[in-house]
Structures are given as structure tokens and as C-alpha cells.
Structure 1
Amino acid sequence: MKIDDLIKEELKDPEFAEAYEKEGEKLQTAISLYRAREEAGLTQAELAEKAHTTQATIARIERGDNVSFDKLSEIAHAMGKKLKVEFL
């Protein structure tokens, strides 16, 4: 069975679907931060210094760990960017 088919089947379970969506949102945040950091030409350590946080914090966010709105906002401002949140 292909992974896409397995996921499609599992998504029929509401509990699985909810968890899958939440994890996808965290992954999107991680990807967005990674891309913005790369676009800014910063290493994790350089961004951490600018954002007054630790490299480990940046790494955790880029892995998809939970992060607060305030922390993301601080990181965005450290890169000269604004944080935009959308409810779709």
C-alpha cells in the first residue's frame, strides 16, 4: 500500500484527521521560518542572536515544535519582517 493511500484511508478517522491537520500546521510554520531565515541569509545562531533567543529555540521551531505567537513575532521582527496569521 502506498503512503498516500494509507493516509487517505486514515483521514477517514476524525481523531486522526484532526491530529494530522494540527501537525501539518506546525510543519508549515517550520517551513515558513526556515525559508524566511534562508532568504535573510542568516544561520540559526545569527537569527537567534538578533531575536534575543537561543539557537536551540530556532532549531526546535524549524523542527515543528510548538511555539508561541510572541516568540514568532520577535523572530519575524528580528528579520525585518511582520508576522501574518490567517484563519482559513
Structure 2
Amino acid sequence: MSLDELKKEAFKNPHFKKEYDALEDEFQFIATLLTMRQKAGLTQDLLAEKMGTTTRSIIRLESGSGNPGWKTLQKYAHACGFKIQLQYTH
């Protein structure tokens, strides 16, 4: 079974779909981090070196298993050549 087929099957369960949808913002945030790093042409190892941290820290950040502070997010963005901004919507 492919990942798309598995996802389609899982979405038939309303509880699963609700929980998945609740994580949408987090998934989008992680995708944004990955896009920044890829556009910068950096590997996780190179990014870690530029930030003065470990590759394991980058992996945790990009997997969503960490809880980074604002300064860490700024360092990540700057190391990739980007500026990070906070926005809100209602």
C-alpha cells in the first residue's frame, strides 16, 4: 500500500482526520523550514555547522519533535539566508 493510499484509508476514520487536521499548522511550519533549507542548498550537516549546533538538533527541529525558541528559529532562518516573521490571523 502506498503512502497516499494509506492516508486515504486513514482519513475514513473521523477521529483520525480530526487529529490530523489539528496538526496542519505544525506540518506547514515544518514544510516551511525544509523549503528554506533546500532553497539555501544546505544539508542538515551544513546548516548545523552554520548555526553552531548539532545535526541531531536540526533533525529534531525539522521533524517537529523539538520545541524551539524564537532565537533558534531566527538562527535557522538567517543561516538559510531568510528572515523570519511572526504573523497572526483571526
Q: TM-score range by the shorter chain?
A: 0.7 to 0.9
2:65 matched to 1:60?
no
Quick check: 1:27–1:63 contact (8 Å CA) kept in 2? no
| Identical columns (%) | 31
For the residue of structure 2 that corresponds to 1:87, the secondary structure is coil
Q: Which ranges of structure 2 fall in alignment gaps of 5 or more residues?
A: 1-7
Aligned length: 81
Query: 5+ unaligned residues in a row in structure 1: which ranges?
Result: none
Deviation at 1:72, TM superposition (A): 0.7
- After TM superposition, the structure 1 = structure 2 runs for residues 13-32 of structure 1, keeping only pairs within 5 Å, are 21=22, 23-32=23-32
Letter in 2 for 1:76: A
TM-score by length of structure 1 reads 0.74
Output the aligned Cα RMSD: 2.4
Pairing of 1:1-88 with structure 2 (within 5 A): 2-6=9-13, 9-10=14-15, 21=22, 23-65=23-65, 66-88=67-89
**TM-score, normalising length: structure 2:** 0.72
